[in-house]
Amino acid sequence: MVFVVSASIPVFLSFQIEMKHEPNLLEYQLSAMEDLEVVPIHDNHWFNANGNINKGGTIQIDEYRCVIQLGFGRYRCD
């Protein structure tokens, strides 16, 4: 006869996300996808309902220079 003894210990994890104070284009992208509508981010740039940017390029937002790539709206702001 085999007996199996097990024990469980509750573990609580916490974490914190730290983000730079840069333009949060992800909010605009997710908003476009959630509402299924076009969301403008700059004069000639916007996210469509699928979350795709209408065109790639470099735009200035406040003091940041953002490079936006075509595809699923990848971007980098410096």
- Residue 69 domain-assigned (yes or no): yes
Burial track 14-43 (b if 16+ CB lie within 10 A, e otherwise): eeeeeeeeebebeebbeebbeeeeebebee
Residue 72 confidence (pLDDT): 62
- Residue 59 domain-assigned (yes or no): yes
pLDDT tens string, the chain, 78 residues long: the values are 777 777 777 877 776 655 566 567 888 888 899 999 999 988 888 889 988 888 889 988 888 898 988 866 678 888
- Residue 57 domain-assigned (yes or no): yes
- Residue 2 domain-assigned (yes or no): no
- Residue 51 domain-assigned (yes or no): yes
- Per the structure, the count of domains in the chain is 1
Whole domain around residue 60: which residue ranges?
Answer: 25-77
- Residue 8 domain-assigned (yes or no): no
pTM of the model: 0.62
